[in-house]
Structure 1
Amino acid sequence: MTKKIYVIYTGGTIGMRPTDSGYAPSGNMMALLEEKLPEHVQAELPDFDLVEYEQLIDSSNIRPDNWKQIATDIADHYDQYDGFVVLHGTDTMAYSSSMISFMLRNLDKPVIFTGSQIPLCEARTDGLENFVGALTLAADERIKEVCLYFNGRLMRGNRARKQNAYLFDAFDSPNFPWLGRADINIELSEYLLLKPSQKPEFMLDCDSNSNVAILQLFPGITADFVEATLNQPFKAFIMRTYGTGNGPDGDQALLDALKKATDSGKIIVNLTQCHRGTVHQGSYAAGSALANAGVIGGLDTTTEAMFCKLHHLLSCGKTPEQVTAQISIDLAGEISL
């Protein structure tokens, strides 16, 4: 039986065309694909329907409302299709693939995000291979989760990060192995794939305004700067620290600012600035001091996935205590326990 795939074109480089101001989102994606895909190639691909959003976006402009639109669209068409492809800009694709993984859980079908570094309209585009690969993987019934596919790499959506702005190898999965690789053959590491034991669960609440902010430590950071940041109207903060989760434990005023914020109900999660690795707040005294101030270790979750996890939990109405309890719980494969 022929698989049928639902393709969502949200915007991004893959469908852009040159303008006087540089590349900008452009419509008529279906015509562009038909122009680039020979008929004999189309005949070998899964059947697909493509929907093009009325308001196409450069993914630098992504907002929570866009996540709700994508998740709701997939949920509304879930029973009619065998898999889903989301064409998306690369700049925030790791955020979007993470967020959708929390909003659409325990899937029994693939949702594959992809895009390109060079638009389809150009001769050297990488968009065609990425689209063909994503479409093929979206028809693979072994995949039951949200993934990101790029330049032959299949990654868990909430484990991926954009690592390069200039190479076709734009994405990697720093703290988790790739789920598969498309070379001459498509090879999946099936032991890594999620195998949900529950029915699909769609949690589509997504606050329009972000509940989460990011604070990055830097040498010489002051207590006044930290306190001013934590006084902003956000419910949760990701604090990007050094190494395995260390901060300036010699600055008591800074530690007091953190403790004041956590005592008031603010959630502060400790993630490392390192590209790879995990947070262990007890490895050094500099990390233990943060724990004593009420900062919660985020282990090896990516910044993008933690940002979306916190926003998702708060959008669902969880209390600070409930959110805190779930930070170290694996909800959608985003964390190594």
Structure 2
Amino acid sequence: MKRQILILYTGGTIGMKSSAQGYAPDDGFEALLDTRLRLQQSPDSIHQLPDYHVVKFSQLIDSSNLMPADWTQIGQTLNDNWNNYDGFIVLHGTDTMAYTASALSFILQGMNKPVIITGSQIPLSELRNDALDNLVTSLILAGNYDIPEICIYFNGRLLRGNRSKKIKSAELDAFDSPNFPWLGQVGIHIDIQKKLLLKPGQPDFNLPHCNPNRVVITPIYPGISARVIDALLDSDEVRALILQSYGVGNPPDKNTAFIASLERAGNNGVVLLNTTQCLQGSVNQGAYATGATLNRIGVTPAADLTLEAAFTKLHFLIGMGDDAATIRKNITRPLCGECSHTD
């Protein structure tokens, strides 16, 4: 019996068409999708696809306008349909796809079915596009393979969602997972690295309320002022600050006012998390004396969490009601393969 797949169309380039103002959502996307699938597949090959049903959000999300509440909406839709389908595809804009993939991995812990997130750099409505291949392959993956985790599929690469990053703005191979191997590669053959997949679990889904003001981010740059930290933390709503520091986690420790602002924030209960600006590698806070300063004032090193995973995991833990001490303890303890073990 064919698997039943739900395609959740949330927005993004894949469903857009050209307009005088640039690409805009196409109201006829579902009909276009069905037509393209049937026109470009032979009568024999179309039967190799699983059965699918498309659900479209009434308010499509422009990827650059994504809000934390949208993760909960997507998670709720998947949760509501979990027992009715064998797998799921989420069509999403590319700019914030890695954020949504990371967030869903925390929301849908214990999942036992595939959830493949995909999109495109060129809309399906264009004659030359990457949309159809990304979608057809995602259907094949969700319909024929046991992949019990949130993945991004894009341009031949199957990636763990919470390890993924958009690394290119104008190329078709837009996504990679710099600190974790690909879960699969699709070329002439489909090669799934089964040993890397998470084990299927018992669904234990949580849909936390995510206040967009809870988590803030700042890169460290030459000459950064303490005023930057003070301005970011001028609201009592802020519960966590992510630093993007140099190399293996090095701050400007000679900037005493900047360090004092961080220390004051930590003493006031703000979770301070230190990530690296580098695409690859892990935070090793204390490998240099500058980084040891952060150890002294209570900043938590983020190990090899991506910025997207760190940001969404903080939102998830805060939304679940964890206090600062618990968050500091659990932020680098893997929940669903988002980081390497640090214990």
- Shorter-chain TM-score range: over 0.9
Same amino acid, percent of matched pairs: 47
- 8 Å contact kept, 2:2–2:143: no
Query: What is the one-letter code of the residue matched to 1:205?
Result: P
Which of 199, 202, 205 aligns to 2:205? It is 202
Query: What is the one-letter code of the residue matched to 2:157?
Result: R
- 8 Å contact kept, 1:241–1:273: yes
Of stretches 300-309 and 133-142 in structure 1, the one that deviates more from structure 2 is 133-142
1:159-191 C-alpha deviation (Å, 9 max, x unpaired): 000000110000000100000011111110111
Residue aligning to 1:240: 244
Query: What is the one-letter code of the residue matched to 1:109?
Result: K
Residue aligning to 1:28: 28
- 8 Å contact kept, 1:11–1:26: no
1:73-132 C-alpha deviation (Å, 9 max, x unpaired): 111111111100000000000000100000001111000000000000001110000001
Residue aligning to 1:159: 163
- 8 Å contact kept, 1:64–1:210: no
Cα deviation, residue 5, structure 1: 0.4
- 8 Å contact kept, 2:49–2:143: no
Which of 233, 237, 242 aligns to 1:230? It is 233
Residue aligning to 1:261: 265
Residue aligning to 1:285: 289
Of stretches 106-115 and 199-208 in structure 1, the one that deviates more from structure 2 is 199-208
Distance in structure 1 (CA, Å) of the matches to 2:228 and 2:202: 46
Which of 316, 319, 341 aligns to 1:315? It is 319
Structure 2 portions without partners, runs of 5+: none
Residue aligning to 1:120: 124
Residue aligning to 2:4: 4
Residue aligning to 2:54: 50
Cα deviation, residue 33, structure 1: 1.0
1:229-280 C-alpha deviation (Å, 9 max, x unpaired): 2334411111000000000111222111111000000011000000111001
Distance 1:208 1:259, change over 3 A: closer
Distance in structure 2 (CA, Å) of the matches to 1:96 and 1:215: 20
Cα deviation, residue 208, structure 1: 4.4
Distance 1:140 1:106, change over 3 A: farther
Which of 103, 127, 152 aligns to 1:148? It is 152
Q: Point out the structure with the larger strand share.
A: 1
Distance 1:182 1:26, change over 3 A: same
Cα deviation, residue 141, structure 1: 4.1
Counterpart secondary structure, 1:55: coil
Query: What is the one-letter code of the residue matched to 2:320?
Result: C
Distance in structure 1 (CA, Å) of the matches to 2:232 and 2:206: 30
The answer to whether residue 195 in structure 2 is matched with residue 216 in structure 1 is no
Counterpart secondary structure, 1:66: helix
Cα deviation, residue 36, structure 1: 1.2
The answer to whether residue 108 in structure 2 is matched with residue 98 in structure 1 is no
Cα deviation, residue 207, structure 1: 2.0
Distance in structure 2 (CA, Å) of the matches to 1:66 and 1:226: 27
Of stretches 38-47 and 128-137 in structure 1, the one that deviates more from structure 2 is 38-47
Residue aligning to 1:18: 18
Of stretches 285-294 and 295-304 in structure 1, the one that deviates more from structure 2 is 285-294
1:7-44 C-alpha deviation (Å, 9 max, x unpaired): 10001000001111110122232211122122624322
Counterpart secondary structure, 1:5: strand
Q: How many residues align?
A: 336
Distance in structure 2 (CA, Å) of the matches to 1:277 and 1:157: 18
1:48-91 C-alpha deviation (Å, 9 max, x unpaired): 11101111121111112211111011111111111000000000
Residue aligning to 1:187: 191
Distance in structure 1 (CA, Å) of the matches to 2:120 and 2:313: 26
Distance in structure 2 (CA, Å) of the matches to 1:141 and 1:169: 23
Residue aligning to 1:270: 274
Cα deviation, residue 206, structure 1: 2.7
